[in-house]
Structure 1
Amino acid sequence: MSEDNNEVGASTEKQQNGINGKKSNGRKTSVYEKPLDLDDVLVNELGQFGWFQLRNLALVSIPIIMSAFMSEYIFSAATVPYRCRIPECGEDGKSNEFEPEWILNAVPESNSRFASCERYVPLGVNGTLNYCPSSIFNQLERTGCDSFVYERDNTVVYEFDLGCQEWMRALSGTLNSVGTLLVLPITGYISDRFGRKVALIINVFNVGLFGLIRAFSVNYPMYMVLQLVQTTLGAGTYSSAYIFATELVGPKYRVATSATCSSMFAIGQIVLGGVAWLVAPWRYMNMVIHIPCFLIIIYYWVLSESVRWLLSKGKYNEAQKVLETVARVNKTQISEKSMEALISTSKNSTVASKVEKPGLFQSIIRSPTLLRRVCTTPIWWITTTFVYYGLSINSTSLSDTMHLNFILTAAIEIPGLITAVLVLNRIGRKATLSAGFFFSALCNIIFVFISNDLYVLRLIIFLLGKFGISAVMTSVYLFTSELYPTEYRHSCLAFSSMIGRIGSITAPLTPVLTEYWHGIPSMLFGGMGILSGLLVLTQPETLGTKMPDTIAEAEALGKKKNPEELK
């Protein structure tokens, strides 16, 4: 979202000359030598981060926290240990002891105590719940289960009898991620047509509405459909809130504000893990986390509309009122001349945006440099979402304390985000991003070879892997946006983000791969991290460089050229 802030007024900079340079009584009305944009006003008059921006950030932090609740499928559709029901031993379909003393007489042994989907072929019906001898089974022959006994009854796996249907169980997480892809055009249309505030309120309301309805699902297909609908109509919550937080913040505080928003999402995951721990039954958990979402309706009267959207839609009177409110709350002021110049720039930007330009596809094909970047940056995004969400989902299987594991995995994101903010402007974007990929990959590969008995060491290495990818999550957005020219920045960034959804769509399926070998998910995370870390090294460093406005400037990044060549 931050690239939008750098684009305001850029398209008309060469078409206007000294909007604020008009003379009145022999004096210039302003010192600005270029069209005045909102960033200029924030830096020079309103304040880059005052009480108004702080209030905005505090308000949108609540929806960002709520947006994390859409990951509740990690708990409501969590895997549950199960085994074949043994009716020959008196198990009659009601609740039975999961691990009776005689269980290995009827069920083959496996690495995880006993088999989940197989049992020995019965020879007779002479056992009871207290006594079930091996003599009534042919232990040389195995067969599948007719029904199941579950260790826990607080997830949809028990309620909808999903034993030995791991791919079906994991499908709920995949549908959740598919919805985050489908929501992009829907939220984009609502946001551009009706405003950022309306888009935010609608998305959070839908999160609460369909999440609450899902708590009353009567079967698993209904649960999955509602999962898809909820994210398709509500997953725009984070992006809408992010725009509010960053669009009215000055350039100096934009990276810190972005990291704060990401930290709020991590806090939302911690809240989710805590609620799921305290309210174990999945139906009640859904009610507890989704009912508060309806309170967001009051934001219609509490939250001010985005100034940038108001200016882009020609709602200048409303934009002026918001700017005056910002000045009053921040105890600053905006001059009438600056207000007029800002509106004038906005009008000219609207006119300039209608000028016919070469197509995006044609421009990229003609530029080998941009073509290589368009083929490279989406791979970073696929890896980032794949590893980030994959680690969160797989954290619940680290041990029996699944809720604590999830909470720790979410909490480690915050120092990862802070680290990225501290080093991005010191060692550079490329070094930060590449090091984050390599570090996370190394931790994931090491994790595969640590014994299950060393739980504390396994947990530390796992958390360090999440720490590394969390730093990447903050860095990849900034670095990607700085590699593309202004005129195509938003489109190329959106393309990378959209393709990156492949990672979040496939991440929920990774726990199923442990049935074939326990290390497959971690090795995949490690391999993808190494690949992306190497690809990052193929791109130029952007630290300390001007954000490119033209294709020529974007191609010149990292090259020593005479400035005259770029004209």
Structure 2
Amino acid sequence: MTFESGPTYKSAEEVLAKTGFWHWRVFIVVLSACSCWALNATPFMIPTFAAECDKCETEKVTIKKEFNVPAGFWGIELMSSALFLGNMCFGLITAYLADIFGRRIIILISMFCFGALGALSIFSTSYAVLLVFRFLQGAFFGTTTTVPYVLASECVEFRWHPYVIGLLGLWWSVGYSITALIGYICTTWQQMMLVTSIPSILASIYFYFTLPESFIFLVDNKRVKDINDWINRMQNPKDPVQCNVEHMLQQIDATQESMATNTLSASMKYLIHHKKYMIYLIGSTIISVFAFYLYLGVAVGTDVKLEELGPYWVYLLGGFIEIPGYLCTPIILTRFRQQYAIAGVHVFAGCALFSMVVTPSSTKTLYLIEWLVSKFAMSMCFQCMFIFVGDLYPAIIRNTCVGISTAFGNLGGMFVLQIYAEAQNVLNGKLPMLIYTAMCFINAAVIMSYPKSIGHEP
């Protein structure tokens, strides 16, 4: 229980330091929020098998076959582009709604709609109708990835945020890997879309009864009763949090009066008066665009072929190799200066990708190993992007700037497969690898161009 008298807590961070990270009640909340990434990974990646699967061992009714979709820039690759376009158009709006109405309710609505739209898409009578459903799904894709991260990170102390990112990545790997099993078992694209969509609907119902609101959101909105309820629910009964909530809110108001209004207009005014963050925003947008492009490109936009294993096992290996990457990232970020560590990870990824440029793809085993190393490195790069971009900005503009960066980051995912389709026959198929390599080194340079003092407390 909470008390009207007790230790003086001056910030939400101090309360979260008391409730901890490993206490099972808190950890279950973090784990549940992070599981949204597993539920998102399967619908996101299922076009790998549902859209076209020419090398699959068994005959499948794919989207390409059913609707006679051509290859090329405006062909089957639009399945991924439509999702990213929807996210870019509406992702910032839905994410901003989470700042107004709360993280929890937006997660519930977004998860339900994301799953429902995917399930309804099986009734599409044409490829154009299917793309509309995919576009509408994209409107909720961003909020089912970024908002769960925000909720989870706002329920634990700041120093645990890299570990939250690690859990997100592990859940993503689970969903990513399960996609191969779904693609193998299902024989039609409708089955694949339905099987990957239903879990999101069920999860939204489960979260309605189990997922609490973000503690930071409750504090920012001064919801005293809900704050007390949250503490009572999450505290360790053997070591209760004796917090005078009203006094804590007064302390926060006294120290953060200038940041009391975290609205879009306040964020824009802050950006106008602090022009260095406008420059930061340009850089973080470049990082985000390249990060999205690189992750999806290395995942599916390569010429890795190993007929002896088949497409399912190659895909599954790509999912498994991400797991050590997600485990290593929190360790690297907590042991080394984040800016140097993140830039170093990108350099490592660039070197791994360049090795694929100089190695003939006919050397199948070596080429596969180099791709797996690149995939391992890319999983770390994508994780680091979330942490680095978030740490660039003070709290009053953090959500807005991160939202803008990731919204435009969808441009990278939107066109990667189209560019790959056009570039895969240039320079003996090595042009895509050269593009990926250059992007890694550019991102590393952009990261190192920021002042050495970047990073803000929440």
Category of TM-score, reference length = shorter chain: 0.7 to 0.9
Q: Is the 8 A contact 1:484 1:548 kept in 2?
A: no
Q: Which has the higher helix share?
A: 2
Select the residue among 64, 67, 92 that pairs with 2:40.
Answer: 67
Indicate yes or no: 2:329 matched with 1:420. Answer: yes
Mark the CA change 1:473 to 1:414 in structure 2 (over 3 Å): closer, same or farther.
same
Q: Is the 8 A contact 1:166 1:512 kept in 2?
A: yes
Name the amino acid aligned to 1:479.
F
Tell me what 1:516 maps to. 425
Select the residue among 247, 250, 268 that pairs with 1:341.
Answer: 247
Q: Is the 8 A contact 1:77 1:172 kept in 2?
A: yes
How is 1:353-372 mapped onto 2 (pairs within 5 angstroms)?
Answer: 353-354=260-261, 359-365=269-275, 367=276, 370-372=277-279
Name the amino acid aligned to 2:217.
W
Q: Which has the higher strand share?
A: 1
Q: CA deviation at 1:264?
A: 0.8
Tell me what 1:380 maps to. 287
State the alpha-carbon separation in 1 of the partners of residues 200 and 449 from structure 2.
44
Larger Rg, first or second structure (1 or 2)? 1
Tell me what 1:327 maps to. 235
Select the residue among 51, 72, 81 that pairs with 1:174.
Answer: 81
State the alpha-carbon separation in 2 of the partners of residues 395 and 515 from structure 1.
8
State the alpha-carbon separation in 1 of the partners of residues 93 and 278 from structure 2.
28
Name the amino acid aligned to 2:234.
V
Name the amino acid aligned to 2:375.
K
Name the amino acid aligned to 1:326.
M
Tell me what 1:435 maps to. 344
Q: Is the 8 A contact 2:288 2:406 kept in 1?
A: yes
Tell me what 2:357 maps to. 448
Tell me what 1:458 maps to. 367
Mark the CA change 1:487 to 1:162 in structure 2 (over 3 Å): closer, same or farther.
closer
How is 1:137-176 mapped onto 2 (pairs within 5 angstroms)?
Answer: 152-165=59-72, 167-176=74-83
Tell me what 1:36 maps to. 10
State the alpha-carbon separation in 2 of the partners of residues 235 and 483 from structure 1.
20
Q: CA deviation at 1:327?
A: 1.7
Name the amino acid aligned to 1:210.
L
State the alpha-carbon separation in 2 of the partners of residues 546 and 232 from structure 1.
30
Q: CA deviation at 1:215?
A: 1.8
Indicate yes or no: 2:314 matched with 1:410. Answer: no
Q: CA deviation at 1:325?
A: 1.2
Select the residue among 52, 60, 63 that pairs with 2:25.
Answer: 52
Q: Is the 8 A contact 1:48 1:251 kept in 2?
A: no
How is 1:293-308 mapped onto 2 (pairs within 5 angstroms)?
Answer: 293-296=200-203, 297-308=205-216
Tell me what 2:149 maps to. 242
Q: Is the 8 A contact 1:382 1:500 kept in 2?
A: yes
Mark the CA change 1:540 to 1:417 in structure 2 (over 3 Å): closer, same or farther.
farther
State the alpha-carbon separation in 1 of the partners of residues 141 and 229 from structure 2.
30
Q: Is the 8 A contact 2:6 2:243 kept in 1?
A: no
Name the amino acid aligned to 1:260.
L
Q: CA RMSD in A?
A: 2.9
State the alpha-carbon separation in 1 of the partners of residues 268 and 104 from structure 2.
33
How is 1:123-138 mapped onto 2 (pairs within 5 angstroms)?
Answer: none
The 3-state SS of whatever aligns with 1:425 is helix
TM-score by length of 2: 0.87
Q: CA deviation at 1:358?
A: 8.5
Is the deviation greater in 56-65 or in 259-268?
56-65
Q: CA deviation at 1:253?
A: 1.9
Q: Is the 8 A contact 2:288 2:385 kept in 1?
A: yes
The 3-state SS of whatever aligns with 1:451 is coil
State the alpha-carbon separation in 2 of the partners of residues 183 and 357 from structure 1.
19
Q: CA deviation at 1:63?
A: 2.4
Indicate yes or no: 2:254 matched with 1:281. Answer: no
Q: CA deviation at 1:298?
A: 2.8
Select the residue among 199, 208, 211 that pairs with 2:106.
Answer: 199
Mark the CA change 1:546 to 1:292 in structure 2 (over 3 Å): closer, same or farther.
closer
State the alpha-carbon separation in 1 of the partners of residues 394 and 218 from structure 2.
25
Select the residue among 226, 235, 244 that pairs with 1:318.
Answer: 226
State the alpha-carbon separation in 2 of the partners of residues 213 and 359 from structure 1.
42
4+ residue segments displaced more than 6 Å: 355-358
Q: CA deviation at 1:396?
A: 8.0
Name the amino acid aligned to 2:433.
S
TM-score by length of 1: 0.71
Q: CA deviation at 1:210?
A: 1.1
Q: CA deviation at 1:524?
A: 0.9
Mark the CA change 1:342 to 1:76 in structure 2 (over 3 Å): closer, same or farther.
same
State the alpha-carbon separation in 2 of the partners of residues 55 and 497 from structure 1.
27
State the alpha-carbon separation in 1 of the partners of residues 78 and 371 from structure 2.
24
Q: CA deviation at 1:486?
A: 4.1
**Seq. identity, %:** 18
Alignment length, in residue pairs? 443
Indicate yes or no: 2:395 matched with 1:489. Answer: no
Q: CA deviation at 1:234?
A: 4.2
The 3-state SS of whatever aligns with 2:345 is helix
State the alpha-carbon separation in 1 of the partners of residues 233 and 293 from structure 2.
42
